[in-house]
Each structure stands twice: as C-alpha cells, then as structure tokens.
Chains A and B, each alone.
Chain A
Amino acid sequence: MSEPTIAVAGLSFVYPDGTAALHDINLHIHPGERIALLGPNGAGKTTLILHMNGIHLPQQGTVNVSGLPLTRDTVMEIRRRVGVVFQDPDDQLFMPTVWEDVAFGPQNLGLEGAALDARIHTALAAVEVADLADRPPNHLSFGQKRRVAIAGVLAMEPEILVFDEPTSNLDPATRRELSGILRGLDLTQLIVTHDLPYALELCERSVIIDRGRIVADGATRLLLGDGDLLRSHRLELPYGFDTSLVG
C-alpha cells in the first residue's frame, strides 16, 4: 500500500488544565482519499486536526505526514504539507486584501515575484474568486470568505486539506457550490463535520471520534446506517432524511 499522507499512531493529548482530549488515536489517511471525521461537540476533533499541522506536538504517540515525523524541527514543513481551513473564515482572513491574504502563506515559504503571483492566481482560480483579488475580506459575503480561506491554504500547495466544519453558516446553495469545489480539488481531504449528509455526499470513508477516542472507522454509508452507533455518540441524521441512502 502507498505511504499514508497522514499516519497517526498511539496519539494521546492532555490539556494543561488536565482535560484528556485524545486517547490512543490511530488513523491512516492515504493519498487521494476524502475522509469525514465525525463526532459530537467536544469529542476532540479540533484537537486532533491541530496535531496534524503541528499546532500541538504529540505528548504520546506519533504523527507522520507523508513519512515525515512531526517534531519541533519539522513543524514548518508539516504546516506546508497540511493545509487547515478553519471554521470561521474571519479568523483566517486577517490581511487587508484578498490578494495579500492568499499571498501570506507562500510569502512565509519564501516565494516572491512572478512565482508568487502565479501561485496566488492559481489558488484563487481554483475556487473561482480571481475577480475578488483586490477586495478587503470584510466586504465579502460569507460564502466568498469561505472560498478565499480555501484559496489561502491551496496557495501553500499542501498534500492534504483539512476542513473544520466547512458547511457551518452556509446557505443551501453555497453549501452545494462548496461541495462542487471540494470534489474538483485533486487533493487528499479530511472533512471535520457533524453535517452527516454532507459526509455521505462527499466521503466514502468516515471516522467517528467521541471523548477523545476513535470509535468507528469504515464506509460512510454503513456507519450512518447504524442508528445505535450514531445515537450512542450523539450524532443524528436530519429529520426527513431518506434512510434508503444509508445502511
């Protein structure tokens, strides 16, 4: 089998206040996969993704990104390889214009001049917002902000894209447009969500995490068809959902 893009082994993490956030996490994500990470609020989803790009370093266990172990020395390279799109785009778009925001990451990697321009143009075009380059982020719609936030991460040319609740606060049309964009990106993806139909639509495989432990890992259709499993981990399909799609 190919080298996993993400290989997490025996990962445990306790916050300084004593809260155990992750316990013995084992997870492999292979190149080209699009995986959903499901779990109720407070399950440890965000803590896990903050380990994938080195915001947190492992206290116990290991995190490898395309074979490179996460350590204090490899943090910068790991952050280039793992692009995280955070939940609130206002947290992620901190520069005065869209162009400058998308340029932020590549500039930190040392890009400049024509190479930088080309990188930014490609990233903006991939999410269809090239016309917004000169706009200040505060004058964009929420859906546009979400796209620009993705462009800012794409400009780093990561090996895996991690989305933290990508559909939160999106109207149905924008949510559908976003799924088109995610499908169109030729990249390994990890989508952290509690939007179960979205996971079903986009991801063949899902991982359920609860109370810091991985409790299920398998085909999304099968996991979402297991009512007892969902109920026991405070996950629910929306009212009126066509259950013939799962199980």
Chain B
Amino acid sequence: MGTGHVHALYRHGDSSLHRLPPHLKVVAAFGLVFAIVATPREAIWAFAAYAVLLGVLATVGRLGVRFVASRMMIEIPFLIVALMLPLLGRGERIDVLGLSLSVSGLWSMWNILAKATLGLLTSVVLAGTTQIPDLLRAFDTLRVPRVITSIMGFMFRYLDVVLGEFRTMRVAMQSRAYHPTWLGQIRPYAQTTGHIFIRSYERGERVYLAMASRGYAGHMPRRLGTRASTAAWAAGLAVPAAAWAVAAIAWVVR
C-alpha cells in the first residue's frame, strides 16, 4: 500500500531551505505569489527575474530539474486552455505563422502562462522542501482556522489509504480477466469509485469513534511549530521582499 518513506511532492534533503521554519516558508511563498500576480503582464523582464529567483531557490533546495519538471506536468491541461485564448480573443489581430491571432488574447495567454507557471513553481519549491505534516503545523502556527487544517490533515492522512484501496480493487478486477480498453474501463471504474466512497464514509464513522474514545469533544488540538529566529525571518522574507521590489519597479516603469 504505502508510497515510500516520504510523500511524492517532497524531496528528502538537508538544505538551508529545508531547515527554514515551515511557517516562514509559507509566508514567503504567499508573498512571492502575490508579487507575481500583482505584476503587470507587459513587464516581461519582471517575470524573467521571478523565474531566476525561483531557479536559485530550487537550486539551493537541491530539487533538481527532473524533480521540478515532473511535478510541473500538472499544469499542462491549464496551459492548453490558455493556448486557446489567442484563437478565441476579439479585437485587433495579427498573423503568426499563417494563423490570425488576437493581440489581447495573446496577452491574456502570456499572463496566465507566466503567472500560473511561476505560481506553480513556487508551490513545487515549497512542497519539495517541506514535509506535509510540517506544512499543516505551519498553517496552525499562522492561525489558519483549525477546521480547515483538520480537513487538510485528514485528507493527507487518508489519501494513501484510499488510493491503496483503489489499487487493491483494480488488481482484483484485473485478476478476474478484466482488461480495459480506454472507453470500456469507465463503467467498472465508476462503480469502484462508488464503492470507495461508501467505504470511506464508513471509515469516517470508525475514525470518529476512535477520536471520541480519546476524548474528542469537537475541538482538534492546535499543533504549534517552533518559533523562528529573527535571522530566519530576515532570510525568509528577503525572497518576497525582492519580488515586491521587482513588482513595484514594473509598475513604475510601465
């Protein structure tokens, strides 16, 4: 069932980025993403600067090109949608390689492409250098409502369990000579998903019993992480500060 010692999004290591207090990394990542989103789309050089900054962070975190690239794949469906925009956009049009493309559509595509890619890269660097339990603790330290971090915690805890059940059921189907073709596989898989939903619901009831047995009375205990030193805060906040400086310049020279 298990998926190895660490979660797939995490790269085991001991870099200075790994050692930074998790809640500080979360604050820095949010700060960086806000700067990226707030940058005017015409400031192409600013996005290049963010890319360099994130490249440096990925290098400091020793994440590796392959690790980062494979986790960026999740963006592809969104990129396909973005690539449609120049074809569908209205207003002024230009010819590129024989295709008539909308200028505003091209800018929209670039805006989505640049900001989504850099935002995703930020989260890949964050998740690659921070274990998920540490991330959850970071959200608690930052006073994110406990009900939200609890839901996230349960999701993380039971994702592998549910995927394990799904794999077991798939093997059981294959063991009875079920060799799906692309279209034919939909119905049994839909039924399997329904079974897993019911099983998960029942498990939820059992988990609640176990929680009640250990004194749960409606409030999850808050998990507080370690305090960050002033030096760590300075190091962590340098990244979003640099990004905000870039964003500010981009607005000024616009």
Contact = CB atoms under 8 A, between A and B. Distances in A.
A79 B161 contact: no
Interface in A59-109: 76, 79-80, 83-84, 86, 88, 90-97, 100, 103-105, 107-109
B98 interface: no
Nearest to A155: B214
A43 B214 CA distance: 25
A105 B213 CA distance: 9
A108 B217 contact: yes
Interface stretch (A132-140, A185-193, A223-231): A132-140
Interface stretch (B45-53, B60-68, B150-158, B171-179): B150-158
A96 B133 contact: yes
A94 B212 CA distance: 12
A103 B223 CA distance: 10
Interface in B96-131: 131
Interface residues of B, number: 31
A86 B206 contact: yes
A96 B157 CA distance: 6
Nearest to B160: A138
Given A96-B133, A137-B157, A108 B213 contact: no
B118 to A, nearest CB: 28
Nearest to B213: A84
A79 B158 CA distance: 25
B250 interface: no
A50 interface: yes
B209 A105 contact: no
Nearest to B215: A108
A235 interface: no
Interface of B: 2-7, 131-133, 136, 153-154, 156-158, 160-161, 203, 206-207, 209-217, 221, 223
10 closest Cβ pairs, A-B complex: A108-B215, A107-B221, A105-B214, A96-B133, A91-B206, A138-B160, A92-B210, A97-B133, A84-B213, A96-B153
